[in-house]
Amino acid sequence: MTPAAAARLELLSWSETAERFRRDPRLILPVGTCLQHGPHLPLGADSIIITSLAEAVAARYGVLLAPTLPYGAASPRDAEYAGTASLSGKTLHRVLNELVSCWEAQGMEELVLMTGHGYGPHLYALGTVVSETARIRSVDLHAIDLSGFLSRPHTREHAGELATSLLLHLRPELVRKEAMRDAELGERNVRKLMAGEEPMPAPGSHGVVGRPSLGSAGAGRAIFEYLVDHIGRGLFGPVSRNEATDPLAAQTGMSRRKGGQDVA
């Protein structure tokens, strides 16, 4: 059986959207990047991964899905690589706040921001979006423990095992296996390159930190399925509404209030 497709905001008319917000005022907004991911992965790797995850979560829980914002904030080091295009953290924050203002005025009551990019100003921009009336929630893949699937923490790599595995599962035709370049830098050197929750590439490098050669489609599928389940349950509870209704609050103790932001 083919899985149900997510309801996509850009494919609805304004009247259909108004009815949708009256019936279910939740919305998911994936935030990607146009960012170098080494010579073996596409510039849109973050966008492809987070869009796929958001689509799967939205479809499973019947939540409306907004078009992916394909630009985020990137480090000056990443900006040296051809094709990388980014917004400042301040601009990204303003863009997100303006989108929230539009949708909340039309009846949206809950917005989930999802990203897989760990650069500090990028995460800060998402984490500080606020609304007067809607609940804003943020999902950062770097905050999820994936140690059971990977040879090293994914917060210590860029374009490494995690991203390569997920792309081998989701879009294998976009992975240039012949162009893979491992860059095992050692913990001390990786710490020096950290810029938020993931490292910048070393100066003059191919843009990789970690070992993409360890990636596999099998691992990517297992990770993807785990993330969809973990994120979905954390945000919206079990698919069966007869089970616990608010697992994220129970696990983290976070407040659930309008006008603030929850972070998953």
First-residue to last-residue Cα distance in the chain: 31
Thinking of the domain 9-236, which architecture would CATH place it in?
Answer: 3-Layer(aba) Sandwich (3.40)
Q: What pLDDT, on a 0 to 100 scale, did the predictor assign at position 240?
A: 58
Q: Where are the domains of the chain?
A: 9-236
| CA 142 vs CA 153, 158, 254: distances in Å | 9, 11, 18
Low-confidence ranges of the chain (pLDDT < 50): 1, 241-257
pLDDT attached to residue 13 = 98
pTM above threshold 0.75? yes
pLDDT recorded at residue 78: 96
Amino acid letter, residue 20:
R
DSSP 189-258: HHHHHBSBSSBPPPTTS-S-BB-GGG--HHHHHHHHHHHHHHHHHHHH--SSTTS-S-HHHHHH-----T
pLDDT of residue 184: 86
Summarize pLDDT for 124-172 with one digit per residue, the tens. 999 999 999 999 999 999 999 998 999 888 788 999 999 999 999 999 9
Using CA atoms, how far apart are residues 3 and 68, in angstroms rounded to an integer?
Answer: 21
